[in-house]
Amino acid sequence: MSLLRRRKHPFNESFRKPEKEHENGDFSYESKRKKIAYEHEEERPLSKWSCFDTWCWLIGYVCVTWWFILFLYNAMPASFPKYVTEVITGPLPDPPGVKLRKLGLTAKHPVVFVPAAVTGGLELWEGRKCAPGLFRKRLWGGTYGDVYKRPQCWVEHMSLDNETGMDPCGIRVRPISGLVTADGFGSGCFVWTTLVSNLARIGYEEKTMFMAAYDWRLSFQNTQVRDQTLSRIKNNIELMVATSGGQKVVIIPHSTGALFFLHFMKWVEAPPPMGGGGGPYWCSKHIKAVVNIAAPFLGVPKAIPLFLSAESKDISLVRAIAPGFFENDIFQPQILQHVMRLSHSWDSTVSMIPRGGDTIWGGLDWSPEEGYSCDQKREMKNSTLVTNPARAKSAISLTRSANFGRIVSFGKDVAEAPSNDIDRIDFKGAVKGHRAENRTCRDLWTEYHGMGFEGIKAVADYKTYTAESIVELLHFVAPKMMTRSTAHFSYGIADNMDDPKYKHYKYWSNPLETTLPNAPEMEIFSFYGTGLLTERAYIYKLSPTAECHIPFQIDSSTNDEETCLKGGVYSVDGDGTVPVLSAGFMCAKAWHGKTKFNPSGIRTYLREYRHSPPTTLLEGRGTLSCAHVDIMRNFALIEDVIRIAAGASGEELGGNRVHSNIFKWSEKINLQL
């Protein structure tokens, strides 16, 4: 009872006055009661401050502060945030729609938006027992509250059947229709909202704008098989042309939406039952221009680590900062393997595998971007100061360049070694088998379970992979995914476009194995951002927990500033997701003029936008950002889009505008046109 003490009488004993005695010498009854109470006073515990009290006060303080700030925010005038921003940064420019309306521009051509994979909303129409009360609730593109409440159930409903690539039994998830489907991606993340609102400022409304919503998880042809999506888009375009006095539409695809619409243009003119039966001149009659934004025409290297290890540059950086985080038994199965399960069931992600093989992306000893320096300031300084040709040649020879053609290398030494010094053992003949250890591991299903340790070792012993051998590698490590996907996509280069096999829909979304429509009056634009480091190649290693989990991972410990290597990832110029080579090569060379890929000579234009980050936090993501999604809010891009929709041609827009080395890199690619 060390924490307890007796409460003392308020007066000292010496100052007590004795009670008056009775005649017989005894104290009175009252005095006896007080004496007994004093001598036998009960012990009482002291109050003590606990951690629980501290947390209660802290939570109360945070709640009160939050509600007070919220009250002030709702009470202040709507123009107050803008006023504060202008005081700090100066007057804000007019939005593009306001600016162009003052110049007299009005709505002319109907506009069709084609959203990217991942940015379109999906809702539940039929679910299993774990999803009560979610009928027509957003499973994708909303607040994601149910993801946190029941993640296993959410993954089960978002995954597709591994054999068919369609809905699993008892589950129906469908795209949300209307402009609202892709306005934003999650809470507070815009996508199309800024562009739509600026088009509205020059007179556009819902009858002259259409969002071509589709289930981006499916292969492009399967969107027609299951939902008749391609037929709906065809009918809506025909209706918009008819109700606008014959004005052709302007198509605005974003990211993988460009590949989807490339497939659509072949489908709509192909005869049924494989095609839409629109005839060979349907595109010429109905489409004025296709304005592709951040289009990955030739795929992206970023898709490779998604399939191999469910990773990206961001995951690699987390590993570098907190080693062992994703290998923890709690986090690793709950994050990376869920991502792998989803990515291996979505056919849309397979459409992002790099196309064109070594001819486009480079081989063991070369790449189009060879000599690229990620330090742009240093590169400009060197090019300015070194004016003597001999000295310039010497400076270039002394600068080490990454072997970007080696998309995956097991070890930094392999990535840098001369190709003749690399001892490679072919993995395709390795014996594969189930791993018994997985019966005791708490992991989800992945195709790695069927590889066996010999198969995993064989992959690492091949040392390094280029764009062509990457496709073979994926067939080895994920045979079910690749068997299903190769029925819908192709990754090569066509030698003879007259070959009847190229009439099959699997080639329609590959710009190197299909032709543009016969529409000489149509224009094709490629708008994309530059100035951001974008993933191009990777250093891999075997995972220390390979017996239970994903057997490969990016080696985040490898860095080399001179060769643009950070956290196991080599980077080149791009928008943070799509390299310049993928977004710009088709319009810069393969489609430029009359070529075998562009037989009618459709005019093509490149418009690059140099990334400029926001100067203050008040600007949010900024209006000059050119990151893969943020570019949808870029004022310069929006102004160009509005001018095209209002009737401007590519020449009236100013023709090509290039900041990168896309023309130089395109010339290095030996492609017969």
Residues with a known catalytic role: 255, 575, 628
Q: Token pair 């690229």 is at which residue?
A: 372
| Beta-ladder partners of 595 | 598
CA distance 616 to 42: 65
- Name 578's Cβ contacts closer than 8 Å, sequence gap at least 6: 255, 294, 295, 296, 300, 528, 534, 628
Provide Rg for the chain, Cα atoms: 33
CA distance 258 to 584: 13
Task: Give the β-pairing of 172-175 and 122-126.
Answer: antiparallel
CA distance 532 to 363: 24
Give the angle subtended at the CA of 130 by the CAs of 127 and 135, to the nearest 5°: 40
CA atoms within 13 A on the CB side of 47: 2
**Residue 311 corresponds to which tokens in the numbers above?**
């990773």
Q: 113 in helix, strand or coil?
A: strand
588 DSSP assignment: I
| Beta-ladder partners of 657 | 607
| Identity of residue 475 | H
439 DSSP assignment: G
CA distance 356 to 672: 12
Task: Give the β-pairing of 569-574 and 532-542.
Answer: antiparallel
> Residue 609, Cβ neighbours under 10 Å: how many?
24
Quick one: how many helices (H) and strands (E) in the chain?
26, 17
**Residue 495 corresponds to which tokens in the numbers above?**
């030698």
Q: Token pair 């400009």 is at which residue?
A: 380
